[in-house]
Amino acid sequence: DVVMTQSPLSLPVTLGQPASISCRSSQSLVHSDGNTFLNWFQQRPGQSPRRLIYMVSNRDSGVPDRFSGSGSGTDFTLKISRVEAEDVGVYYCIQGTHWPPYSFGQGTKLEIK
Amino acid sequence: EVQLVESGGGLVQPGGSLRLSCAASGFTFSNYEMSWVRQAPGKGLEWISYINSGGITKYYADSVKGRFTISRDNAKNSLYLQMNSLRADDTAVYYCARGAWSSLWEYWGQGTLLTVSS
């Protein structure tokens, strides 16, 4: 099974400042079809998870452009260019290349400093 | 508008059974793969089961294999999770989520809480 490792697990950020979350996989997430199925999800307090980014760098509809995803192979990053209050929550990277099972990062809790 | 609405959660004794349902609307349910994902209180997300659009291919996490059964009724636009031999560590909010591959879990339900306790 693929192991996903996120860092940091806790991320205090000042409003308006950037934030970055790293996600590393135990093996390459490049599928045999050439695609990389690495996704980022946000879970605000008391809410269901919401997908932000799919296939490394594609923003979902309605996701603010301050969110961006990058990376390749085994090393991926979610960046928030300027953190807003509504960004508070837990962020998960999830791989959908080598499944079952789907594997998740441990989650990064973003809070406002 | 895509909607997924879970139901069926509640309080069950250890060893008991329960069936969760997920009612889908706003899209052609029979075209989409579906999964169940759960979240224990204060913990992270855990994928537990997948079913393909036709209901033939099914996968399970090791933690539930042999105890849980996923199914769907495309005529009723519904997804199900039959849970048997429930344990305390099955206590969680259970979400249904739509899609796989590039559309992995693009939509989620609001979740239904299962509590396993005596």
Distance CA B115, CA B99 (A): 27
pLDDT at A103 (0 to 100):
94
User: Between B44, B95, B104, which is nearest A37 by CB?
Assistant: B104
Tell me which residues of chain B, numbers 50 to 69, contact chain A at a CB-CB cutoff of 8 Å: 50, 59-62
The Cβ of residue B56 has, within 10 Å, a number of other Cβ atoms equal to 7
pLDDT digits (tens, 9 = 90+) for B48-65: 999 999 999 999 999 999
Nearest-by-CA chain B residue for A100: B59
pLDDT at A23: 98
Mean pLDDT across B108-114: 98
pLDDT at position A37? 97
Mutation for testing the B interface, residue in A94, A102, A106 having most B CBs under 10 Å: A102
Evaluated on CA atoms B88, B94, B99, B101, the torsion sign reads: negative
Q: What is the mean pLDDT of chain A?
A: 97
Determine the pLDDT at residue B75: 98
| Residue B112 touches partner A, C-beta closer than 8 Å | no
pLDDT number for residue B62: 97
* Interface subset of A 25-84, CB within 8 angstroms of B: 35, 37, 39, 41, 43, 48-51, 54-55, 60
Minimal Cβ distance to B61: which of A43, A90, A101: A101
A22 pLDDT band, cuts 50/70/90, is very high
pLDDT of residue A27: 98
CB contact under 8 A, A107 and B61: no
Q: What is the DSSP string of B12-39?
A: E-TT--EEEEEEEESS-GGG--EEEEEE
Query: Using CB atoms, which residue from B46, B104, B111 is nearest to A48?
Result: B111
Mutate to test the interface with B, among A6, A51, A61 (most CBs of B within 10 A): A51
Dump pLDDT digits (tens) for A91-104: 999 999 999 999 99
Query: Considering only alpha carbons, which residue of chain A is nearest residue B64?
Result: A101
Could you read off the pLDDT of B31-54 as tens digits, one per residue?
999 999 999 999 999 999 999 999
Q: Give, rounded to a whole angstrom, the gap between the first and last alpha carbons of chain B.
A: 40
Q: What percent of chain B has pLDDT over 70?
A: 100
* CA distances (Å), origin B65, targets A63, B17, B40, B58, B68: 35, 15, 18, 11, 6
Residue A3 confidence (pLDDT): 98
Residues in chain B: 118
The pLDDT value recorded for residue A88 is 98
